[in-house]
Amino acid sequence: MQILNSFDSVDLKEINAVSLMDRVDTKFIFHMNELEDILGRANDDYSVLQIGGSRQMGYSNQYFDTHNLKFYTDHHNGKLFRTKIRIRRYDDTDLVFLEVKHKSNKGRMNKIRAKIPEFRDTLSEKAESFLSTQLSTGLNIVPTIRNNFQRVTLVGRNERITFDTNLTFQQNGSSVKMGNLVIAEIKQAELNRSSPLFTILKEKKIKPYRISKYCIGMASLYDGIKKNRFKEKLNKIKKITA
């Protein structure tokens, strides 16, 4: 996207100073056609992450759940405290992390991660040992779905914003593409609805929207699982991407 060239840039070292592993997340969804205008309005208040000359990065996720899909079901059933597990590869740097995300009953997201040597759909003994320190005992973790997307990351004062595009989900040879969908996420240490990006989205009448890439992917690809709670979200995505 040419508009990204109008931003000042930051590198990984600088962005790590605003890592926000314990934070409040606010998400939004909209059509790809809106993105260039939103970025154009934001370039005076934010810098963009740049790695090796690229300002739009590739991400790959392998998600895990229990045999009975506890993490997915907890989210579907509206449980306030919930967990997600994934292996994430940052494609542009080939860094790979095993990540555990806990969402509290007060809406705060806490992410703990451990660097691992390779992107895979199985867990090594070392990875299982790490998970045992983060999860309830007795959980048997298995791979569920894989997810790929491209991300633009903006850095502002006390916040980071990510824009995820070209989302694809895969499971057992089946795949779903959501090419025109943008999932934006404002990540802040404390919720601040007067930040520049909040203001831009409000002016464009784009409202906060609760959505989980993992749950949307699961509901799109898995048969025989609960998905009533996500039908409205799937329909909204279809309308946006049509």
Q: Domain residues of the chain, as ranges? A: 8-241
pLDDT at residue number 80: 86
pLDDT digits (tens, 9 = 90+) for 150-208: 999 999 988 999 999 999 999 999 999 998 999 999 999 889 999 999 999 999 999 99
Question: In the chain, which stretches have pLDDT less than 50?
Answer: none
User: Which of 85, 79, 36, 38 has the alpha carbon at shortest distance from 61?
Assistant: 85
- 182, 30 in Cβ contact below 8 A? yes
pLDDT at residue number 175: 96
pLDDT at residue number 19: 65
pLDDT at residue number 119: 96
Q: What is the CATH number of domain 8-241?
A: 2.40.320.10
